[in-house]
Amino acid sequence: MNIKNKIESGSVYFLTMTVVDWVDIFTREDYRQIMIDSLKYCQNEKGLEIYSWCLMTNHLHLIASANENRQNTLSDILRDFKKFTSKAIIQKIKDIPERRRRWLLDRFEFAGRFNKKIEFYKFWQDGNDPKEVNSMEFLQQKTAYIHDNPVRAGWVNEPHHYNYSSARDYAGEKGILDVVLVY
């Protein structure tokens, strides 16, 4: 990771985690649920603090930090999250009746074929494209960008109508993840 994208302790970041080749994997509830359960686990057990989020078909946006009273850094949490979700989703692809099974596994195997760190499958692209949140204006801009993703995709007319996002929380409703509201 280059120095301009280094995650520093004690800061809040806008992050994007993308599936290799932008494969549309989160179209199935089984895979989305792995993501939600994993995010909840990271919140409850590792100190992940989420300010806003949105899960799309092939990527996850977060504005997040690590609770400073915990031992885990945000980098540690993201590394563990990506490692766990990668393995869990690959296993789920193998276990459930997935008509794209062979194609998905081939894509993820090919993505990791020439990487010595990858044993079998590479699910996530490298990096998280971290951008430090350094002003309220930047935070509001990125939160709006995150929440508008499903609207831009044509799935909903209003951001808070999309279940897999914190837009509901910011609209005064309860979303499916706990969120630290900042405005």
Q: Check pLDDT > 70 for residue 4.
A: no
Alpha carbons 55 and 28: distance in angstroms, whole number:
12
| 24, two tokens | 């549309």
pLDDT bracket for residue 133 (50, 70, 90):
very high
Q: How far is CA 48 from the centre of its chain?
A: 12
pLDDT in tens, 8-53: 788 999 999 999 999 999 999 999 999 999 999 999 999 999 999 9
pLDDT above 50 for 2: no
Domains and CATH numbers, the chain: 7-170 (3.30.70.1290)
In 3D space, the residue among 130, 128, 149 whose CA is nearest the CA of residue 56 turns out to be 149
What pLDDT score was predicted for residue 1? 41
Q: Could you tell me if 164 and 54 are in contact, meaning their C-beta atoms sit under 8 angstroms apart?
A: yes
Burial state string for 123-154 with b = 16 or more CB within 10 A and e = fewer than 16: bbbeebebbebeeeeebeebbeebbbbbeeee
- Which pLDDT tens digit goes with each residue over 46-95? 999 999 999 999 999 999 999 977 788 999 999 999 999 999 999 999 99
Contact 105, 121 (CB under 8 A): yes
Please give the pLDDT value at position 5.
58
